[in-house]
Amino acid sequence: MHYLTLSFTHKNTDICVREKLAFNSEEKSRHFMSQLKNCEAINEVILLSTCNRVEIITSVSEVQSALNYVFDLLSYVSDVPREELEGRADTYEDNGAIHHLFTVCSSLDSLVIGETQIAGQLKEAFKFAFEHNYCGQKLGRAMHHAFRCAAEVRGRTDISKSPVSVSSVAVNKAKDLLGSIGGLSALVVGAGEMSQLAAKHPVSNGVNVIIINRNLEHAQALATELGELATTAPYSKLTEFINRYRLVFSATGAPHSVITDDMVEEREFSRYWFDIAVPRDIDVKDHANLHVYAVDDLEEIVNKNMSLREEQAKIAYSIVGRSTMDFFKWLQSMCVDPIIKEIRDHAKECSMQELEKAVKKGYIPEELQDQVSKVLHHAFNSFLHSATKNLKEVAEKPEADTIVQAVQYIFNINEDQTKRINMYKCEYQMGGIK
């Protein structure tokens, strides 16, 4: 079994290609993962698709066959030539794949180092894959440890203090451009997760926010959550409102542009539009006094953020490195064959010790020691037969880790593992994911 990950991010893939690679609907994600599972070499898969990255995380039996299949299928569904995908992708295997997963989950590979969204997005991706039977024990183990690693990074460093997201970076950019945005009005297009953040940050800076969304009820629910500075408007007002206000933050989940060039009217005042969606929401030509910023245009503030967090990142990377080593050490300890052997060896050792005591005390004649030894050997083999059979049968099931660790604890095989008992699904249930 091998871990294999293909990664397309803001570091290796520009936004035009990331738009084509984006999986922005459950139907598209399920179809892609189902097709991947048709490959004999691919056992499990998790798909993470955000505005800054597409990660195809897999457990495979044979790396090269799986890699070829993923590139072919991804090229087919995205209409991006395979050669270009191969040239852009960062490919990670085994130790590298786990180290990369832990790095991503700890927000060290994000556009904004220390942003707080990625762990939740990974939990959602894992939840979706697990509930639809695209992943199980192999990737489940890796994800649980990734969440634990991320929690340790958050707890032992200041890298996520004063949480930063792409949405907050967009607001900071607006403040850099306008000096002060308190008292201004801003239009927020969309009411999903990214739009919620895009609305919360302006509100926290004293901006009056107008939320427009195709589903007005969702917009009203978000406005209620944000408080008195937030109001809503019907989607039919979109064209009118984008030409009325200086600030627009757009982050819908639409598969196509929602603000197009034919909707733009010339204005004498400067306007600043922030498109934090992938695929992009805004598709307009150059207009006087209109400035459009997409995700990849926020590098300046991102670079400032990275320099401020550089020292904390060094500590975080050391945690990721150690956590990666610990994971593979733990993985090795989960193999049931050595556990079965140790239990049998321990049973034999105890039997022989008691037999020797019995002979010394005269309970058993010395000349019968070999025969009694055989009887004892058959007895503990018979006693352990059912347990051994069940342990081997459960070895490949998701609940194996809890059972194996319980056995280790009961038989005192590895004291280091006792603290991990009942770990299965604990991280899957964190953060409101039940």
- Which are the catalytic amino acids? 51
Q: How many helices (H) and strands (E) in the chain? A: 16, 12
Distances (CA, A) of 347 to 303, 341, 375, 405: 61, 10, 13, 19
Sign of CA dihedral 26, 30, 33, 35: negative
* Residues 6 or more apart whose Cβ sits within 8 Å of residue 83: none
Long-range contacts of 203-211 (CB under 8 A, 24+ apart): 203/227, 203/229, 203/230, 205/171, 205/175, 205/181, 206/181, 206/182, 207/181, 207/182, 207/183, 207/247, 208/183, 208/184, 209/185, 210/185, 210/186, 210/241, 210/245
Q: Looking at the DSSP assignment, which residues form a beta bridge with residue 186?
A: 209, 247
The burial class, CB within 10 Å (0-12 / 13-18 / 19+), for 375 is exposed
Residue 57's nearest CA partner among 69, 66, 48, 68 is 48
Whether the link from the prior residue into 279 is cis, omega within 30° of 0, is yes
Q: List the Cα angle 145/150/155 in 5-degree steps.
A: 125
- What three-state secondary structure class fits 74? helix
